[in-house]
Structure 1
Amino acid sequence: MVDPATDPLVEVLLHLFVGFGLGALIGLEREQSESGGTFAGSRTFPLFALYGGIVGSFFPTGLSIALGVLAVPLTVAYAGKIWYERDIGLTTLMAALLTVLLGAIAMQSDTGAVIAIVAGGAITVLLSVKDPIHEFADRIDEAERLASVKFILVVLVVLPALPDRSLDVLYGLNPRFVWLMVVFVTGLGFVAYVLGQFLEPEQSIALTGIIGGFVSSTATTVTMAEKTEQNETLYHVCAFAVVTASIVMFPRALVEIAVVNPNLLSRAVLPLGTMTVVGAVAAGALYWRTTSDETVEPGELQNPFRLRPALLFGVIFAVVLLVSEYAHEWVGTSGVYATAFLSGLADVDAMTITLSKLAAEGTVSTQVATTGIVIAAIANTLVKAALAWTLGTYRLGRLVSIVLGIVVVSGLVLLVVGV
């Protein structure tokens, strides 16, 4: 007796249903948004997916011909749409072609079905956020637009051109790896920046700290400190934003470790995770003490896609990488820890990625790498407390120091017990 789970016919029908479902999802979005108009809607898009699925399953070599055949009626329908509706947008037409391809991809294999589901979901989300995307584009001024374009061009041009090997002239540095980490860290900040534009963090003190922490926790601390100088009664909400921005650094470091050296993650997750939880509980207590009318704008978040800060981070990262490696070779573990503390005063990302890479190469042990990362995080946390004292009011400095002090102590305890 044939097992239904392994029956080829059942498998084909399931994959065909996946494609049909994706077509229906995209079609519903097009019809509800009224973007498809008379061109295509909730019935036509599932048919596009079935067309691609049937051709992809039974006539895979003729898929390109099938797309060409479909292009004829699509062109006629699109021309009619322009004539009757005076709308020359290509979004719905491209969605139709992609839906055909999704149907074909879903039929290839289980992996193809998963890829089709992910791509179909992304297409649906992209189609449904038309207004927010246009609003976001309108908010970007000319200077930010040029900065982003220059950065992206440099990434696309420079990254492939850099050699992917250690160079003696650079004291053993791999230039492509250094630049790839610059792009990665900047990309994390840019994701938070985009979220900040969509979610308007100035209307939520929680988002002020979280998004500010991913973009620049130091800048958020300085901004909040200056706010308390202007209005001392805001010290509770400003302290919450500073603490939140500071503890975001710990999960951000875990993300960087997971990307650079996943094997180190299991060891680093306990100290950094504990510091995150302790900080989050303390921040929650601050939030509870904050009255509902205590709202504050965090200040303008700058687009992280700027060439000069990216190059500066690249230089810092390269120097930290070299100093850490040679410090371990010449002085031993104590040299790594000293470098971690000094580097952490300015930037945690560089030290986190550096020690993750050195641990992956076997240059330092996982224990030394984890301890060094925690030391860098503690040093940077102390800097935030110092900035709150120096630039803010006495109440802000005291409150931030108490809360971040508890976080630092939790990290130190874990280091002392040898975690």
Structure 2
Amino acid sequence: MDWNDTLAALTAALGIGLLIGAVRERQHADRIGKAGVRTHALLALAGAIAMGLGTAALLVVLAAVALLALASYRVSRQRDPGLTGEVAMLVTVLLGALTHHSPALAAALGVVVAILLWAKGPLRRLSRDLISEREMQDGLVLAAAALVVLPLLPDEPVDPWGVVQPAMLWRIVVLIMAVGMLGHVARRAVGVRRGLPVAGFFSGFASSTAAVVSFGQLSREQPALQAAATAAALLANLASLLLLVAVIGTVSPALVWASAWPMAAAGAALLTAAATGLLRRDATGNLPADPKARAFHLSHALLIALLIALVMLLAEALRHLFGEAGAMVGAAVAALAELQAAGATIARLAATGGITPAEARWGLVALLASTTLAKTLLAFSSGGAGYGLRVGAGLVSMTAAAALATWFTAVR
């Protein structure tokens, strides 16, 4: 027997028991008979000692604790019908046993268990008050799409050119639905003024196209949120621009430095347009306290994925027909659907000497113009004229700023 390992396991078990017991003690300080600090510390030590003696001893301890938990429940079920305390006793024993195999993992799980026990009130409020029946339905659809359908789809391309992958397209569908859910939850949790911009920016790292569509749907369904939704969509494109710079830097670090000023100007224009939208009086005035719109629409997500597949096929066909020049045109076309993939194409051409740095900079401007066109059309179709004009103006300012900076650096 390694006494150092045994001592480490017993110490971890004692810490886990004390932590869980302290949480239970504070939650039920006014109730006699509830397992508290000493009980959970002893249960964790019992689990660790039993595991050291063998599996049979652990099973005996678990059976004994289960009987004690059953007896405790029979006594307290009239005033407290929940089973959390009884289940916590069994979990404490198992965590004590786990310390023999991995004290660090057992300790981490002990912290998670303590947090779950402490968060009884917030979790109850989340499930009963914050989440509506419709939101629960949307959440189940999203979970099924991500955890059931996606693993069943093949990663292999299904077209002759090898660009259309069913799993990749379905990931886009899942991303679009997740963006809608993220914005909906953030708005419910922290309010419209803070929730939409936060959700918009972080959703842009997943898919700015999906964000434009999702926030457009929100703007159409709740016109009072139009200014805030516009700002969120523009912040999503700012995140997408930052991701584009990261992708370009991975493929061609030299191109990042060569295009630093145009990209910085584009980002500043987007940030200014988004801030202008947030400062509008109607961005937060007369807003509904409880949004009733659905978190996402599956039909919209499927339509966007189909359009992306068609654009990818067109871009690859142009590359096969016209070579590097066709690849430039194909990249601009691909930017209609996926900016980062198009940026990687331009960066690869610059890194291999297929195009000059100046051509690469103007190529990036062309990508921004292409994505501006595509997202403006999507903004009009998903959110109506008001939303489309505002998003389009912000995106046009992004492209114009990048073009002016590119021209200035070329003539300087």
TM-score of Structure 1 vs Structure 2, range by shorter chain: 0.5 to 0.7
Residue 234 (structure 2) aligns with: 246
Judged with a 3 Å threshold, the aligned counterparts in structure 2 of structure 1 residues 69 and 100 are, in CA distance, closer, same or farther, namely: closer
Residue 163 (structure 1) aligns with: 154
Corresponding letter in the other structure for 2:285: E
Judged with a 3 Å threshold, the aligned counterparts in structure 2 of structure 1 residues 71 and 238 are, in CA distance, closer, same or farther, namely: same
Q: How does 1:280-359 map to 2 (within 5 A)?
A: 280=271, 283-284=274-275, 287=278, 290=281, 294-297=285-288, 300-304=292-296, 307-331=298-322, 332-343=326-337, 351-352=338-339, 354-355=341-342
CA distance in 2, matches of 1:20, 1:303: 45
SS of corresponding position for 2:125: helix
CA distance in 1, matches of 2:59, 2:249: 42
1:84 aligns with 2:60: no
Residue 116 (structure 1) aligns with: 109
Using the TM superposition, give the Cα deviation of residue 66 of structure 1 relative to its aligned residue in structure 2, in angstroms. 1.6
Contact 2:216 2:383 in 1 (8 A): no
CA RMSD of aligned residues (A): 5.3
Judged with a 3 Å threshold, the aligned counterparts in structure 2 of structure 1 residues 275 and 66 are, in CA distance, closer, same or farther, namely: farther
Corresponding letter in the other structure for 1:81: Y
Q: How does 1:66-145 map to 2 (within 5 A)?
A: 66=58, 69-86=61-78, 87-105=80-98, 108-109=101-102, 112=105, 116=109, 119-120=112-113, 123=116, 127=120, 129-136=122-129, 139-141=132-134, 145=136
Corresponding letter in the other structure for 2:327: T
Residue 357 (structure 2) aligns with: none
Judged with a 3 Å threshold, the aligned counterparts in structure 2 of structure 1 residues 149 and 311 are, in CA distance, closer, same or farther, namely: same
Deviation per CA, 1:183-214: give whole Å up to 9, x if none.
Answer: 34533443443333333x3xx42323443674
Using the TM superposition, give the Cα deviation of residue 320 of structure 1 relative to its aligned residue in structure 2, in angstroms. 3.6
CA distance in 2, matches of 1:27, 1:68: 22
Contact 2:235 2:274 in 1 (8 A): no
Deviation per CA, 1:126-180: give whole Å up to 9, x if none.
Answer: 6453222222575223xx5445435534544433333343345795643334334
CA distance in 1, matches of 2:302, 2:212: 19
SS of corresponding position for 1:325: helix
Q: How does 1:5-16 map to 2 (within 5 A)?
A: 9=4
Deviation per CA, 1:335-372: give whole Å up to 9, x if none.
Answer: 233313433xxxxxxx1475589899x89979799778
1:186 aligns with 2:166: no
Judged with a 3 Å threshold, the aligned counterparts in structure 2 of structure 1 residues 105 and 278 are, in CA distance, closer, same or farther, namely: farther
Judged with a 3 Å threshold, the aligned counterparts in structure 2 of structure 1 residues 49 and 80 are, in CA distance, closer, same or farther, namely: closer
Residue 356 (structure 2) aligns with: none
Corresponding letter in the other structure for 1:40: A
CA distance in 2, matches of 1:197, 1:380: 30
Q: Structure 1 residues 65-74 or 287-296, which shifts more?
A: 287-296
TM-score, normalised via structure 1 length: 0.65
Q: How does 1:371-410 map to 2 (within 5 A)?
A: 374=368, 377-379=371-373, 382=376, 391-392=385-386, 405-410=396-401
Using the TM superposition, give the Cα deviation of residue 81 of structure 1 relative to its aligned residue in structure 2, in angstroms. 1.9
Corresponding letter in the other structure for 2:123: K
Judged with a 3 Å threshold, the aligned counterparts in structure 2 of structure 1 residues 196 and 240 are, in CA distance, closer, same or farther, namely: closer
Using the TM superposition, give the Cα deviation of residue 114 of structure 1 relative to its aligned residue in structure 2, in angstroms. 7.8
Contact 1:19 1:116 in 2 (8 A): no
Contact 2:270 2:398 in 1 (8 A): yes
Deviation per CA, 1:32-58: give whole Å up to 9, x if none.
Answer: 4449964433443444444445556x4
SS of corresponding position for 2:336: helix
Q: Which runs of 5+ in 2 are unaligned?
A: 204-209, 353-359
TM-score, normalised via structure 2 length: 0.66
Deviation per CA, 1:206-247: give whole Å up to 9, x if none.
Answer: 32344367474345357658977x8xxxxxx95454223321
Judged with a 3 Å threshold, the aligned counterparts in structure 2 of structure 1 residues 265 and 12 are, in CA distance, closer, same or farther, namely: farther
Contact 1:82 1:88 in 2 (8 A): no
Judged with a 3 Å threshold, the aligned counterparts in structure 2 of structure 1 residues 111 and 85 are, in CA distance, closer, same or farther, namely: closer
CA distance in 2, matches of 1:93, 1:257: 53
Corresponding letter in the other structure for 1:206: R
Deviation per CA, 1:47-102: give whole Å up to 9, x if none.
Answer: 4444445556x45x63x852552243234323432443334433344444444444
Corresponding letter in the other structure for 1:198: A
CA distance in 2, matches of 1:226, 1:189: 13
Contact 1:28 1:41 in 2 (8 A): yes
CA distance in 1, matches of 2:172, 2:164: 13
Residue 347 (structure 1) aligns with: none
Structure showing greater Rg: 2
CA distance in 1, matches of 2:373, 2:114: 42
Contact 2:169 2:309 in 1 (8 A): yes
Residue 44 (structure 1) aligns with: 39
SS of corresponding position for 1:392: helix
**Matched residues, number:** 383
Corresponding letter in the other structure for 1:69: V
Q: Which runs of 5+ in 1 are unaligned?
A: 1-6, 231-236, 344-350
CA distance in 2, matches of 1:357, 1:36: 63
Judged with a 3 Å threshold, the aligned counterparts in structure 2 of structure 1 residues 161 and 240 are, in CA distance, closer, same or farther, namely: closer
CA distance in 2, matches of 1:118, 1:261: 40
Residue 166 (structure 2) aligns with: 175
